[in-house]
Structure 1
Amino acid sequence: MEKIGKQSSSARQLFIQYTSLAMLSMLGQSLFIFADTYFVANGVGAKGIAALNIVLPMINVFNGLGWLLGIGGATLFGIALGKKRVEEANQLFNLTLSFTLIISVIFTLLTSIFAQPILTLLGANPEVYAMSASYYRILMIFAPLFMFNVVTISFLRNDHNPRLAMLALLAGGLTNIVLDYLFIFPLQMGLTGAAIATASSPIVSLLAASLHWRQKDHHLQFKKVRLQLEPLKTIASLGFSSFFNEFSSAVVMFLFNIMILQVVGTIGVSAYAIIANLNIIVIALFTGLGQGFQPLISYYYGQKDGGKIKQLLKMALITGGALSLIVVLIGVFLPDPLITLFNSEQNNQLASIASQGLPLYFSSYLLTGINFVVIYFLAAIGQGKASLRLSALRGIVFIIPILLLMAYWFELVGIWLTLLLVEALTCVLAIYLLKKSVERLN
């Protein structure tokens, strides 16, 4: 594997290697949610995917916390390696692990104790509450493993091992798919089986990632460190944009579930579950692109190599734009085959709602690639506040009023078009912030 800084590795070669591996690894991580929905849809039915969709925002929350610590800590780690400060980089690794342990335990305790009010808040009505609860309770117990997994993957990429990071996440996703089939069909365990299969994913992924420590040239050493709040603030500021990218997906899913439930009912939530799960795969690709070029940007930023940074940024923007266009075309021209995968009961009402919504919802992806590239670029060069501002606007500030207004004016069509307006407004500010940041590199 070519390493950052090696003379034989051009910026283009490194970009292709790191981003392709990161996109594949994120795709692998998204497979466990996609597999859950597919097998639940075909093994449990429309109510099953409605119940599953109510819980899915919680996966975004604990994964988001993992990326907050992982991307934030790994970005500082990458910058430190670029400056040849190996001891400082290693200390950041151990601090991040310590923070992850504390935060993950607190998260699991709170979400387990307050399970009933959380599920009610998420929209679990009496019709689907029992099924949602069976999936939720198992998932919350294993939340710390999910968080440690994404933190570990982040550091592997920044420690010049993107290939193992990809293989680890793919191994976890593949394990989940196999167990999903086994637990839902032959063993007839329903959503409980789906939850157990999902919980197995980070276990396998972490075991695969542990192979990194068998390599001689790694920089990640487990050592005792004294907990300090100051580094945590810096880690959080750089990683918060990644958290918001995940958290915003949870917010969107939660708000859409509530609004669609009011406008159409449970069958509408089932239809949206199909779109939401396809969305998870698409967002995983954009996230993989951002996480793939982040280690490169951080390393060259540490070396103060503005030329390489601009070259990598240009490639990222072109890749993000091309990926956006491809996804939009798929949503516009191939909605029915995608919907059929999840409509085993051949419910005409579900198919009709999803067929209308999928192309409209996918239209928002035309600008998502640019927004994600800018968000991850700003974080990679240490501009955590600017990156967080964009993520917050995209994930919460814009979406709440726009969704309410669009639902009021245009009902279901307005709900589907909400994200297009949100991404457009975000993109205007993203281009402005990007231009200012690039000027500072001169």
Structure 2
Amino acid sequence: MTTVNAIETRPVRPLFFSYLYPAMVGMLLMSVNILVDGIFVSRGVGATALAGVNIAVPIFSVLLSISLWIGMGGATLFSISLGEGNKKRAHQIFTLSFVMMIGIVTAIIAVLLFNLRDIAYIFGADHTTYPYVQQYLYIILLFGLFYTIENLLSIFIRNDGSPKLAMLGLITTSVLNIIFNYIFIFILDYGVKGCALATALSTIFGMLVLFLHFFNKQCELKFVRHFFAVIDMKKIMTIGFPSFIVEASMAFIIILYNVTFLRYLGSDGVTAYAMVNYIHAVLLTVFFGIGMALQPLVSYHHGAGLKKRLIALLKIGVKTAIILGLSTAIIAMLFPSQLIGVFGDKGSAEVQSMAIQGFAYFAIGYIFLGVNMVFAEFFQSIEKIRLATTIMLLRSAVLFIPVLIVLPKIFGAQAIWWTFPVVEGLTALLIALFIWKSKYGIKE
């Protein structure tokens, strides 16, 4: 049975879960990689080196956001084309996406390398941290193209019916990253350079695992000579834009939280939020995994015109998000101290107490987060880009900024923790009202 036939004929529920588990594991491993780098650098090099790496990470995130932007946009069109039975266009879309990403990422890397010092200082480096930023980021940028290729291939391979191979590539990267970090930092004493080399080499091996997909007889990821079309470039950039917003807004949200906590609770508040954010960064990727699993299936069924199965996929995605969100919120409210103890830095008793209490409030937002991500991904996957972009902007700016400003002014400093659940709850409410009143109602 071909991949196309399997997608169209397999029962919707097992089909969805066959994509869900690999996507969630893969996204989780991506976030764990960042934590692993921080642990090895802090213990093997020192606190100042860790600060340097943390300054470099948002710059590196620029490359990830580009690969997500083009990858999700291109992969959506790719799956829609397969659903329409137009394999020739699917091949053209894949080739165009690959070439676009290489061109854009190469240009960005060149600009960053030639202006490394200035950019590092803009992102918060000073004379003590810059040497570490420079050592880490220089190597990361030299190998940055491999990282974006791995991410792009992972997205397309998932859309080409091989979610387990996409997961295997990310598992390979994560496991080797731990091994190489230990060798380069603790055995060879390469310092921050060792951490960067570990990331680079593990990424290359993970990418090579993904290339095994091209030896699959059912592979539809094929490079073709005649692929360039301006209209397709515009569609890729337009469809992928909501994914770019998700990645790009994360740094923006963290900065606003830090500024607000500093104003109302001082440096202790910033530290408490950092502890909570370590947990949040991991959990966030798990919820993103639901959308990542939904996207290739929704795009294909949209292209094939299988509306009944399309709506069934949406319902399963929403139910999964609600169950996962409720479970996460309940666990966080019952065991906040245990979670903070696992992921958080060991600070003063006052900071620990602040983080524990804050996370119990903060975690209520997970009840709504998954649902919001499912609808955003659903609309993006059926080319309703304005709706998907609106949901993302509501979460990251339109509602977030005023709520973050108003809540602590009215209810005091502790209300800062309520920003996340209030914003996600309001976004979910607006989505529900839109679904109820519009032609996108969930009806068989």
Q: Same fold (TM over 0.5)?
A: yes
Deviations 1:118-162 (A, max 9, x none): 334434456645444443443333332222222111110111111
Matched with 1:202 is 203
State the Cα distance separating 1:232 from its structure 2 match: 1.5
Matched with 2:246 is 245
Does residue 171 of structure 2 align to residue 148 of structure 1? no
Deviations 1:20-66 (A, max 9, x none): 11111111222211212333444456655554444433344322211
Please give the alpha-carbon distance, in whole angstroms, between the structure 2 residues aligned to 1:198 and 1:267: 32
Does residue 333 of structure 2 align to residue 318 of structure 1? no
Structure 2, gaps ≥5 residues long: none
Does residue 392 of structure 2 align to residue 391 of structure 1? yes
Label 1:99 to 1:280 Cα distance change in 2 as closer, same or farther (>3 A). same
Does the 8 A contact of 1:31 with 1:177 survive in 2?
Answer: no
Does the 8 A contact of 1:57 with 1:249 survive in 2?
Answer: no
- Secondary structure of the residue aligned to 2:3 is coil
State the Cα distance separating 1:374 from its structure 2 match: 0.2
Matched with 1:438 is 440
- Secondary structure of the residue aligned to 1:223 is coil
Greater relative contact order (CA < 8 Å, ≥ 6 in sequence): 1
Label 1:384 to 1:87 Cα distance change in 2 as closer, same or farther (>3 A). same
Matched with 1:421 is 422
Alignment of 1:278-357 (within 5 A): 278-341=279-342, 347-348=348-349, 350-357=351-358
- Secondary structure of the residue aligned to 2:5 is coil
State the Cα distance separating 1:83 from its structure 2 match: 1.0
Please give the alpha-carbon distance, in whole angstroms, between the structure 1 residues aligned to 2:77 and 2:442: 20
State the Cα distance separating 1:299 from its structure 2 match: 1.2
Does the 8 A contact of 1:53 with 1:273 survive in 2?
Answer: no
Does the 8 A contact of 1:139 with 1:195 survive in 2?
Answer: yes
Does the 8 A contact of 2:275 with 2:345 survive in 1?
Answer: no
Matched with 1:104 is 105
Label 1:41 to 1:262 Cα distance change in 2 as closer, same or farther (>3 A). farther
- Secondary structure of the residue aligned to 1:363 is helix
State the Cα distance separating 1:370 from its structure 2 match: 0.5
Please give the alpha-carbon distance, in whole angstroms, between the structure 2 residues aligned to 1:341 and 1:88: 48
Matched with 2:5 is 5
**Residue range with higher mean Cα deviation, 367-376 or 216-225:** 216-225
Does the 8 A contact of 1:42 with 1:343 survive in 2?
Answer: no
Label 1:57 to 1:312 Cα distance change in 2 as closer, same or farther (>3 A). same
Matched with 1:58 is 59
State the Cα distance separating 1:428 from its structure 2 match: 2.3
Please give the alpha-carbon distance, in whole angstroms, between the structure 2 residues aligned to 1:421 and 1:397: 13
**Residue range with higher mean Cα deviation, 257-266 or 203-212:** 257-266
Please give the alpha-carbon distance, in whole angstroms, between the structure 2 residues aligned to 1:32 and 1:180: 11
Label 1:91 to 1:138 Cα distance change in 2 as closer, same or farther (>3 A). same
Matched with 1:255 is 256
Q: Percent identity?
A: 31
Deviations 1:344-399 (A, max 9, x none): 76654653443343333322212100000000000111111211121122123332
Matched with 2:91 is 90
Label 1:149 to 1:54 Cα distance change in 2 as closer, same or farther (>3 A). same
Does the 8 A contact of 2:70 with 2:97 survive in 1?
Answer: yes
- Secondary structure of the residue aligned to 2:161 is coil
Matched with 1:360 is 361
Matched with 1:68 is 69
Label 1:180 to 1:401 Cα distance change in 2 as closer, same or farther (>3 A). farther
Structure 1, gaps ≥5 residues long: none
State the Cα distance separating 1:175 from its structure 2 match: 1.5
Deviations 1:158-178 (A, max 9, x none): 111111011111111221122
Alignment of 1:399-410 (within 5 A): 399-406=400-407
State the Cα distance separating 1:312 from its structure 2 match: 0.8
- Secondary structure of the residue aligned to 1:331 is helix
Please give the alpha-carbon distance, in whole angstroms, between the structure 1 residues aligned to 2:331 and 2:302: 36
State the Cα distance separating 1:102 from its structure 2 match: 1.3
Please give the alpha-carbon distance, in whole angstroms, between the structure 1 residues aligned to 2:243 and 2:33: 20
Does the 8 A contact of 1:49 with 1:273 survive in 2?
Answer: no
Please give the alpha-carbon distance, in whole angstroms, between the structure 2 residues aligned to 1:51 and 1:402: 32
State the Cα distance separating 1:194 from its structure 2 match: 2.7
Please give the alpha-carbon distance, in whole angstroms, between the structure 2 residues aligned to 1:261 and 1:51: 21
Structure 2 counterpart of 1:205, one-letter code = G
Matched with 1:371 is 372
- Secondary structure of the residue aligned to 1:68 is helix
**Residue range with higher mean Cα deviation, 400-409 or 327-336:** 400-409
Label 1:42 to 1:332 Cα distance change in 2 as closer, same or farther (>3 A). farther
Does the 8 A contact of 1:394 with 1:422 survive in 2?
Answer: yes
Please give the alpha-carbon distance, in whole angstroms, between the structure 1 residues aligned to 2:41 and 2:339: 16
State the Cα distance separating 1:314 from its structure 2 match: 0.7
Matched with 2:275 is 274
Please give the alpha-carbon distance, in whole angstroms, between the structure 1 residues aligned to 2:176 and 2:273: 26
Label 1:423 to 1:39 Cα distance change in 2 as closer, same or farther (>3 A). same
Structure 2 counterpart of 1:193, one-letter code = G
Please give the alpha-carbon distance, in whole angstroms, between the structure 1 residues aligned to 2:109 and 2:191: 23
Structure 2 counterpart of 1:429, one-letter code = L
Label 1:262 to 1:127 Cα distance change in 2 as closer, same or farther (>3 A). farther
Does the 8 A contact of 1:76 with 1:89 survive in 2?
Answer: yes
Label 1:90 to 1:189 Cα distance change in 2 as closer, same or farther (>3 A). same
Structure 1 counterpart of 2:99, one-letter code = S
State the Cα distance separating 1:212 from its structure 2 match: 0.2
Label 1:154 to 1:437 Cα distance change in 2 as closer, same or farther (>3 A). farther
Return the TM-score normalized by structure 1: 0.89
Does the 8 A contact of 2:333 with 2:363 survive in 1?
Answer: yes
Does the 8 A contact of 1:19 with 1:293 survive in 2?
Answer: yes
- Secondary structure of the residue aligned to 1:185 is helix
Give the RMSD, CA atoms, in angstroms: 2.8
Does residue 239 of structure 2 align to residue 234 of structure 1? no
Please give the alpha-carbon distance, in whole angstroms, between the structure 1 residues aligned to 2:118 and 2:348: 31
Please give the alpha-carbon distance, in whole angstroms, between the structure 2 residues aligned to 1:58 and 1:344: 24
Structure 1 counterpart of 2:27, one-letter code = M
Label 1:361 to 1:5 Cα distance change in 2 as closer, same or farther (>3 A). same
Deviations 1:264-292 (A, max 9, x none): 66665554433323222212111111111
